[in-house]
Amino acid sequence: MQAFKQSQDNQAVQEFSRAINLYQTEKYREAVAAFQKAGAYRWSHYALLAHLYEANSYLEINDSDKAITAAERFIAGTSSDSLYLQMGLLALASAEEQKNQCRQAVEHYSQAAMIKAAFRHSPLTKNTCKIIPIPQSRSTLPNWKRKPAGRRWGSNLQDHV
């Protein structure tokens, strides 16, 4: 069984790497298919991350329904009170905000903000849904936790996997 899991992980990392390259070059539709392939290797920890990036790819092509499904799949596989859970909640809330489902978006943004060691340095919504941001200095957070301008949450994860 160990050899099978290692084989799955090796295949998943190859597909995940290909998908990340597509994502970073803004080929989001192609990235979705590659992330789905990586996500099919359920024994690999890359499978879970693939669902987050799949959600973010769908957000980039404005397919909110599929982004919600992928984000929910990612959230279901994360542990409570983790940075990954927070990132999944942010992706889910972003998709809900795209659909103008403000009540759900605010609820998920709020849940994300309550997670310890969370992103608490900036407003978590765009302009559609208004909530009060949690104040905290950006300078207190490591660079890899910051969302670079024009990129989705979690888009720097490949540097830390």
Instruction: Summarize pLDDT for 19-64 with one digit per residue, the tens.
Output: 999 999 999 999 999 999 999 998 888 999 999 999 999 999 999 9
- CA–CA distance, 154 with 119 (Å, rounded to integer): 11
* 112 neighbors 125 (Cβ within 8 angstroms): no
Per-residue pLDDT, 17: 97
Structural domains present in the chain: 2-160 (1.25.40.10)
Q: Which residue ranges of the chain lie beneath pLDDT 50?
A: 121-125, 131-151, 153-161
- CA–CA distance, 47 with 9 (Å, rounded to integer): 9
What is the value of pTM for the model shown?
A: 0.73
Per-residue pLDDT, 87: 95
* 91 neighbors 74 (Cβ within 8 angstroms): yes
Extract long-range pairs of 35-39: CB within 8 Å, 24+ residues apart. Answer: 38/12, 39/73
